[in-house]
Structure 1
Amino acid sequence: MLRVGVIMGGDSSEREVSLMTGREIISHLDPAKYEVRPIEITRKRDLPQQLAGIDMAVIALHGKYGEDGTIQGTLETLGVPYTGSGVLASSLCMDKNTAKKLLRYEGVETPDWMLLTSPDELENVLASEPLYPLVVKPNSGGSSVGVTLARDEQSLREAVERAFHWDDEVILEQYIEGEEITCSLLNGEYLPVLAIKPNGEFFDYTSKYEEGECEEVVASLDPDTAEQVRRAAELSCRVLKCSVYARVDVMLHQGIPYVMEVNTLPGMTRTSLLPKSALAAGLSFSALLDRIIEGSLAERRREYGLVV
């Protein structure tokens, strides 16, 4: 059997989501195929000792040090194969400002944005009379932690303050009104596109992780729009060097897909989108994990010669 270590926890703002992802993964790994060891970390230096005897690491971390290439580089240095994208893709996708620049350069539609590197820079933004609403989010992070929709100056000030609590750089992004969808990649194939219908104003942390706060269904797209979405997702993953699996979040506005961001380690909790998309394709959670592990082993062999 393959000896698998599920790395979860960490010390980012998404620690609790990571623990949910890790526990869900552990509960669905086939005990007939894998000898599973939970590895809950709080500090990076805890990791090497806990990896002793492990054939492969299943990364269930989210946020900084988990999705930004840090843990991937550590595992490569230690010679331990791991799941998901490599160092470069992880670091590019975690930095929203850099990812959006690359996407726009390659012709992928993405909402207009600006980067704040200090709270003081907000005064210049306000002086330019920004067009509301604006989506305010930490530049490096996920799970909608610290994300707010600002509709006026007061709410913008509060949103920027909240986002800087989580990161030292903040994105102000044009709000695109339309149908929110997500497109998942698995070993070069695209799973059914899901439409996201939150109960609240937008797809925030509560909508993502509280059961009953959001409805996700297979999107009803006409053939032309479906092809545009697929091309945008495919190009985004290619530009950002993603491999094995990823989730591309898109807002459809007047038939145009605007790529919001690309997730290299999308959530795998009970309410997460990737397992739901896989299920719509006829893949159980356990089968999805098998595909991720198989694809990741092949990718690590191809990239670095890491073998089990």
Structure 2
Amino acid sequence: MRVGVLMGGISSEREISLRSGKEIVENLDKSKYEVVEIVLNSKEELISKVKDIDFALLALHGQFGEDGKVQAVLENLNIPYSGCDTLSSSICMDKDITKKVLKASNIRTARWLCVRNIDEIDYNAIEEFGYPVFVKPNSGGSSVATTRIDKKEGIEEAVKEALKYDREVMIEEYIKGDEITCPVLNGVMLPVLVIKPKSEFFDYTSKYEDGGADEFIIELEENLHKEVEEMALKSYRETKCSVYARVDMIIREGVPYVLELNTLPGMTKNSLFPKSAKGVDISFSKLLDLIIEHSLRER
């Protein structure tokens, strides 16, 4: 089977995508697959570069990769691809829509508001959240242009900065607690990882630089683990995810809150999903095999 690993792309997360893609290429079983490295530099290249592959293994992040648009093109070309479909990718890429689905499904999440310009900033709502708050691009990833704001005076500038990366900006209640991530593979939650960033939150540097954060499998207290698992799997189902996704949470005083879902989580050597899979003796190479197998069955 001729497997094309799609990487690069046009989003602010291009460099992370390239790193993910190259490590996927290195770890794919060459005895099973004919592996083709496909670096995308523009939207227009996609159709010509994938025409001779049997399967698209997506290592793209952010805009035109994680937002369902590449998936839609591949569906029209009848090329099976890895991970979530067009609809769930679109839902989870939009943090505002994701949180609306979570709220409608009675899944606990931090309070938030979404704005398109500085005139829409509702300072009264933010006061109800209490400071600090996080300001972030609504459809961004990898914590690009994400800022912790400790007082009212910083909100407007943070929103302006985030609007450089997206048309909408989320202002979100700060939930102080322990950050965990719950990888889900084919509807089953893998071991939970706790994240201890060296900086004030799990920012770009913490995620992608060696030593930026301590990340390790954690054994939660039995009832808490059960609640976290139920929330992770319900979030996965309600946003219509398939094959695999990562559900990020914060636990405050024993109470878990869902932050967001990642439908194309990073696949670098520092990435969370492979670390979790390793905890149940699934090697990186085996994890990629399972993603391909489950994706082919799904498509």
TM-score under structure 1 normalisation?
0.94
Report the Cα distance in structure 1 between the residues aligned to 2:48 and 2:126, rounded to whole angstroms. 53
Aligned: 1:285 with 2:284: yes
1:13 shift after superposition:
1.0
Matches within 5 A, 1:1-308: 2-122=1-121, 124-125=122-123, 129=127, 131-300=130-299
1:127 shift after superposition:
9.1
Aligned partners of 1:279 and 1:285 also within 8 Å: yes
Report the Cα distance in structure 2 between the residues aligned to 1:181 and 1:127, rounded to whole angstroms. 27
1:126 shift after superposition:
6.6
Report the Cα distance in structure 1 between the residues aligned to 2:127 and 2:295, rounded to whole angstroms. 47
Report the Cα distance in structure 1 between the residues aligned to 2:125 and 2:232, rounded to whole angstroms. 36
Report the Cα distance in structure 1 between the residues aligned to 2:33 and 2:125, rounded to whole angstroms. 58
1:44 shift after superposition:
1.6
The residue type paired with residue 192 of structure 2 is V
The residue type paired with residue 162 of structure 1 is E
Deviates more, 1:68-77 or 1:46-55: 46-55
Deviates more, 1:164-173 or 1:154-163: 154-163
1:57 shift after superposition:
0.3
The residue type paired with residue 161 of structure 1 is K
Report the Cα distance in structure 1 between the residues aligned to 2:193 and 2:126, rounded to whole angstroms. 37
Report the Cα distance in structure 1 between the residues aligned to 2:138 and 2:276, rounded to whole angstroms. 26
Aligned partners of 2:7 and 2:18 also within 8 Å: yes
Paired residue total: 298
Secondary structure of the structure 2 residue equivalent to 1:173: strand
Aligned partners of 1:39 and 1:50 also within 8 Å: yes
Secondary structure of the structure 2 residue equivalent to 1:165: coil
Report the Cα distance in structure 2 between the residues aligned to 1:33 and 1:220, rounded to whole angstroms. 35
Per-residue CA deviations over 1:4-47 (Å, capped at 9, x if unaligned) read: 00111111111111111111111100111111111111112101
Report the Cα distance in structure 1 between the residues aligned to 2:118 and 2:109, rounded to whole angstroms. 24
Report the Cα distance in structure 1 between the residues aligned to 2:154 and 2:201, rounded to whole angstroms. 15
The residue type paired with residue 250 of structure 1 is M
Report the Cα distance in structure 2 between the residues aligned to 1:267 and 1:119, rounded to whole angstroms. 32
Secondary structure of the structure 1 residue equivalent to 2:163: helix
Secondary structure of the structure 1 residue equivalent to 2:160: helix
Aligned partners of 1:126 and 1:153 also within 8 Å: no
The sequence identity of aligned pairs, in percent, is 52
Closer, same or farther: CA 128–39 of 1 in aligned 2, 3 Å: closer
The residue type paired with residue 125 of structure 1 is Y
Report the Cα distance in structure 1 between the residues aligned to 2:158 and 2:279, rounded to whole angstroms. 36
Secondary structure of the structure 1 residue equivalent to 2:67: coil
Report the Cα distance in structure 2 between the residues aligned to 1:93 and 1:10, rounded to whole angstroms. 19
Deviates more, 1:24-33 or 1:159-168: 159-168
Secondary structure of the structure 2 residue equivalent to 1:286: helix
The residue type paired with residue 180 of structure 1 is E
Report the Cα distance in structure 1 between the residues aligned to 2:125 and 2:110, rounded to whole angstroms. 21
Deviates more, 1:285-294 or 1:129-138: 129-138
1:155 shift after superposition:
3.0
The residue type paired with residue 183 of structure 1 is C
Report the Cα distance in structure 2 between the residues aligned to 1:155 and 1:192, rounded to whole angstroms. 38
Report the Cα distance in structure 2 between the residues aligned to 1:228 and 1:185, rounded to whole angstroms. 15
- Aligned residues: CA RMSD: 1.2
Aligned partners of 2:188 and 2:233 also within 8 Å: no
The residue type paired with residue 254 of structure 1 is E
Aligned partners of 2:118 and 2:156 also within 8 Å: no
Structure 2, unmatched stretches of 5+, are none
Aligned partners of 1:25 and 1:268 also within 8 Å: yes
TM-score under structure 2 normalisation?
0.97
Secondary structure of the structure 2 residue equivalent to 1:232: helix
Report the Cα distance in structure 2 between the residues aligned to 1:171 and 1:127, rounded to whole angstroms. 13
Secondary structure of the structure 1 residue equivalent to 2:210: coil
1:254 shift after superposition:
1.9
